[in-house]
Amino acid sequence: MRGGSGETRFTPPAHLPWEGLAMVVLAALIPILMLAALLALGRYEELMLPAPEDDRLEPAAVPVGPKETVRFP
């Protein structure tokens, strides 16, 4: 009795004709959309930060006299 062995054969699903095109479109759009989101977040951060005040931007040290050079023998 060979006919009733109970084994089932698995056949993989057929590929859809637009499957390759969809991957190409996704591969092109995802990096562009991520870059757009990153740039939008950067602009949002600039808008949310307080404006710099001129009083707070003082130099750390004022140079005095000519710059000395160190010479090694």
47 vs 39: CA distance, rounded Å = 13
Asked if pLDDT for residue 73 goes beyond 60, the answer is yes
Measured between its terminal Cα atoms, the distance across the chain in Å is: 101
* The two structure tokens encoding residue 26: 């996704």
Distance CA(65)–CA(47), nearest Å, equals: 41
- Please indicate, yes or no, whether the overall pTM of this predicted structure exceeds 0.85: no
**What is the per-residue pLDDT across 62-71, written as a single tens digit (0 to 9) for each?**
666 676 666 7
Reduced to 3 states (helix: H, G, I; strand: E, B; else coil), residue 65 is: coil
Q: What is the mean pLDDT of residues 31-44?
A: 94
How many residues would you count in the chain?
Answer: 73
Token pair 């009795």 is found at 1
> What does the mean pLDDT of the chain come to?
78
